[in-house]
Amino acid sequence: MENDQHCAICGCELFGARRDKEKGQLKRKVQYGEDSPEGRSYRTKHHYIAKRFLGREIFSGGDEQRLIKNKRKYTFLCYNCHEELLHNPMLLPDDIEDFHELVDKEDKRLTEPTKGDDKDKLARRIELLHKVIETGIKVLLDGNLH
């Protein structure tokens, strides 16, 4: 079972809504994302695979089995790590240009001048971005930061 008391990324103590035992309603002592330590520590459920992709077989290739295995799993994060770190990564102009270069160089040609009826190329771009992040994390954990 996932630890819902501490953020899986930064380790902070999580706060959030609790059920009123008598009324069965959610009671909020603090608002989600409120500019306070408790608001920034508000408990959120982060699905490893976005809900909008559940039930869709848009991923393929080497990551398919790992993605299928994790598609209904989740963890708990604080507001800061969930909304500001994961959902709003800081990608600078050079980062976007470099990622475009990777997309353009892929053997399967992941560029998409006009959108098609399916999301196959989007799925492959998501897989590529995951590979970039995964590779970078491994390099940093191995102490190869220069």
pLDDT tens, 3-50? 678 999 999 999 876 555 666 665 567 777 888 888 899 988 888 777
**Residue of 25 and 128 predicted with greater confidence:** 128
pTM as predicted = 0.70
Distance (Å, whole) CA 73 – CA 27: 26
> Does residue 40 contact residue 113 with C-beta atoms inside 8 Å?
no
pLDDT tens track for 114-124: 888 887 888 78
Distance (Å, whole) CA 111 – CA 132: 17
> Does residue 51 contact residue 80 with C-beta atoms inside 8 Å?
no
